[in-house]
Structure 1
Amino acid sequence: MSEHVEHGFGPVWDADSRVLVLGSMPSPKSRAAGFYYMHRQNRFWPVMAALFADPADPRDVPGDSPDSRRAFALRHHIALWDVIASCDIVGASDSSIRNAVPNDLTPILRDSHVTRVLTTGAKAAQLYRKLIAPQLDAAGIAVPMIPLPSTSPANASMRLPDLVAVYRAAFHEAGIPAID
């Protein structure tokens, strides 16, 4: 059964952010934890660790807590948010999203160094094009968007090494080279 949900927590970003990663709407586990990609089977943080964790610095890891993950993202100039501020949804099913209300990305894009938006999953890209792009166009903000595959466990067709390769290419295109 569908329920109306509010996002529940704000974006992660600062003036030094260079890439904005947008999901669609946080999963129930992420909403409960108050942070992004907190379902233990979601592969977002393992992908970020593979791309950016400095092997010479054992402290440069995402960790398991919202605070450590926030610090990791900001240290690597990555902003996090979602396309949707509220919607009707069944569990974590992107395909069930209805009545979506978008977040306003204008403050982040105006007050940071973000040069690319990366969307995680087909639904996030679709909703970005439909709900966010017109807002940005009206505000005179032109930031290219790169759609990426979902890191959700529901996207079982992509193995972790495949996700890492696709995300590596997107971050490289965005001007944030990953560690080799």
Structure 2
Amino acid sequence: MFYYAHPQNRFWRILPRIYNNHQTLETNEEKSQFLLEHRIALWDVLHSCTIEGSSDSSIKDAVPNDLTFLLENSDIRRILCNGTTAYKLFQKFQKFDLEKSVEVLQLPSTSPANARFSEETLEKIWKEALLHHK
């Protein structure tokens, strides 16, 4: 169990290319190390929910993660939501008052269900969000 574990999810294929790294990220250890090296944190908007398969539209009984402590005690300046559902759930549940500004962006999902975006287009959009800060 690790983030974006579905073999067809494009997240772990585009991420190394964004950083001009030709490494294939296969194991959880390789993925974790890559994230640490590039100062990327991954966290779920939801702590738990009831869901049928991987269908976001079936989410019920959502219990949000409390991100307040994490955001108040780290140098996170930008939050990238992987898809519309993650963004909407973040907006619905994450009510916190921070002294520092945290930019929240909705990006197209890297899920294989999001056939509207090619892998190349996802890479371009995610690269812009990850590397070009305000």
User: TM-score, length-normalised on structure 1?
Assistant: 0.69
CA-CA distance at 1:122 after TM superposition: 0.3
Gaps of 5+ in 1: 1-33, 56-60, 176-180
- Residue matched to 1:78: 40
Higher normalized contact order (CA 8 Å, seq sep 6+, divided by chain length): 1
User: Whose strand fraction is larger, Structure 1's or Structure 2's?
Assistant: 1
Sequence identity, in percent? Answer: 41
Query: Contact 2:13 / 2:25 at 8 angstroms: preserved in 1?
Result: no
Aligned equivalents of 1:143 and 1:53: distance in 2? 26
Aligned equivalents of 2:37 and 2:85: distance in 1? 28
The number of equivalent residue pairs is 134
Query: Contact 1:115 / 1:174 at 8 angstroms: preserved in 2?
Result: no
* Amino acid paired to 1:35: F
Aligned equivalents of 1:141 and 1:101: distance in 2? 25
- Residue matched to 1:165: 124
> Are 2:67 and 1:105 aligned?
yes
Change (3 A) 1:84 1:62: farther
* Amino acid paired to 1:80: L
CA-CA distance at 1:167 after TM superposition: 0.5
Q: Which of residues 50, 53, 69 in structure 1 aligns to 2:17?
A: 50
User: TM-score, length-normalised on structure 2?
Assistant: 0.92
Aligned equivalents of 2:8 and 2:111: distance in 1? 7
* Amino acid paired to 1:163: L
Instruction: Give the CA RMSD over aligned residues.
Output: 1.6
Gaps of 5+ in 2: none
- Residue matched to 1:128: 90
| Poorly superposed stretches of 4+, deviation over 3 Å | 139-142
